[in-house]
Structure 1
């Protein structure tokens, strides 16, 4: 991994439970000029969570570091754990990203608990995300490759999750199972740096048909999924948060 990215993690103002790479690098269609999306979880200091003032739970920053665009977002553990308990596939993707910048025992504990947070209703997150991305794609004056890749990435991730219970975010890997040449073509366009190349009407019609097909596939996978109706990880996440806070406070003291 680029030394500039590693340095961002080292320079984080709070102790990190984990930091991973998300975005195009995780999804398998990064080009040479893609920015690096760093996501993770930190622990706020004692005074920040015990005082009367509402703490700033999220650190978010976008900047250029010697020619590399970096996008950093980390949340305090309490906020992130709360999002894990919702139907939020995005935070689970950050947790299970194989592109780990900072990990360790707590990260592994979180992944174990994260598997118990997965329910069949996460399908709704992916259906909603795909629908919103498609609308944004159609609103553009010129239809380009990058936005449409996000549509199929979330549809394929959702279908795979419903069928297997496993998080897989790499579209190229996923398409090895789905076998859609059209998407391989789009991935090649994006990786080659021609993501701003417009999509003609005939290509768009084929994409619409494909999108409708996989939306239906995700609905079907949701109906047939053996995943649980509700998560079972809240008590253990709460205990982990309490343990982390106590240990951190002892270290501060």
Structure 2
């Protein structure tokens, strides 16, 4: 699959006249809970030729490839990525720390990792993960029967919020890291660990009786975190001049030849 992904990225570069700065796995494989038939969610950041940015019109700043078999691949333009980085965009922060890297060129990913603490916003990240957890809890965990996989799409953002509350830093991307640190030894943790083993074994799509202990934990934490999130304020320096320099640096580096 790595060869197929590399070939796809090469085709995208040629077809769209761009250069990929980095490409990583996102989704369940990066989060640490893929099933045996999970697809590949590849996300990348790219840079177009300098002339592309010299226009009076805004242009499409994403590249999306139709989902094919087990491969879902799309990317963001450099300028779009830096604008979102300035806002402490949680999905982009996750891409930067993915352990499954398919392309890493010119040091761009390392540059953003070096700068991420300067742009990280606990407020923006907390609200992002809270919104995700509330929406998924409402949509997936309210019935008497629930699919195993849906628990992780609620538990992971809840644990990300708990990490931000505890450490005031970007949450780790892997679910196991979050759970090991934030869930004390208890029947709840054992139930979550058993659920994870079953998901990794492929038991994720069947409907089962709702796990009331997990529902109760999520409901209580969501209520408490909503209160906790309200105290965060937007602080810090404006990183725009710094990110302008990053934009110019990598635009030049990509096309210096």
TM bin, normalised by shorter chain, reads 0.7 to 0.9
In 2, Cα distance between equivalents of 1:50 and 1:250:
17
Q: Kindly tell me: are residues 49 and 36 of structure 1, through their superposed partners in 2, closer, same or farther at Cα, counting changes over 3 Å?
A: same
Q: The residue matched to 2:45 in structure 1 has which SS?
A: strand
2:240 corresponds to: 234
Matched, 1:136 2:139: yes
1:246: how far off? 3.5
What's the secondary structure of 1:215's corresponding residue? helix
Equivalent in the alignment of 1:115: 117
Gaps of 5+ in 1: none
Cα distance in structure 2, aligned partners of 1:27 and 1:79? 24
Q: What residue is the counterpart of 1:15 in the other structure?
A: 19
Normalization by structure 1: what TM-score?
0.85
Q: Name the CA shift for 1:244/1:158 in 2 (closer, same or farther; >3 Å).
A: same
What is the correspondence of 1:135-174 to structure 2 with a 5 Å cutoff? 135-138=138-141, 143-164=146-167, 165-174=169-178
CA–CA distance in structure 2, aligned partners of residues 143 and 174 of structure 1:
23
- Pair 115,41 (structure 1): closer, same or farther in 2 beyond 3 Å: same
Deviation at residue 32 of structure 1 after TM alignment: 1.5
- On the 8 A contact 1:39/1:74 being kept in 2, the answer is yes
Structure-1 separation of matches of 2:139 and 2:49:
39
The range that moved more, 83-92 or 229-238, is 229-238
Match of 1:200 among 198, 209, 223: 209
Provide the rounded CA distance (Å) in 1 between the counterparts of 2:102 and 2:7: 10
Change in Cα spacing, 1:138 to 1:193, as seen in structure 2 (3 Å) is: same
Return the alpha-carbon distance in structure 1 between the equivalents of residues 205 and 80 of structure 2: 36
Counterpart secondary structure, 1:11: helix
Residues 218-253 of structure 1, C-alpha deviations (whole Å, 9 max, x = no match): 45765788x9734553221111102222344543xx
Q: TM-score, normalised by structure 2?
A: 0.84
* Alignment RMSD: 2.6
Matched, 1:188 2:201: no
CA deviations over 1:178-204 (Å, ceiling 9, x no partner): 141222122122211121121314x2x
CA distance in 2, matches of 1:215, 1:87: 22
Distance in 2 separating the partners of 1:31 and 1:18: 25
User: Which residue pairs with 2:37 in the alignment?
Assistant: 33
Distance change >3 Å, CA 238–CA 146, structure 1 → 2:
same
Count the aligned residue pairs.
245
Note closer, same or farther for the CA distance 1:208–1:9 as it changes in structure 2 (3 Å cut): same
CA gap 1:16/1:2 in 2 versus in 1, 3 angstroms: closer
CA distance in 1 between counterparts of 2:76 and 2:142 reads: 31
Deviations 1:34-74 (A, max 9, x none): 0011112100223332234432210122433xxx5111121
Q: Where do 5+ consecutive residues of structure 2 fail to align?
A: none
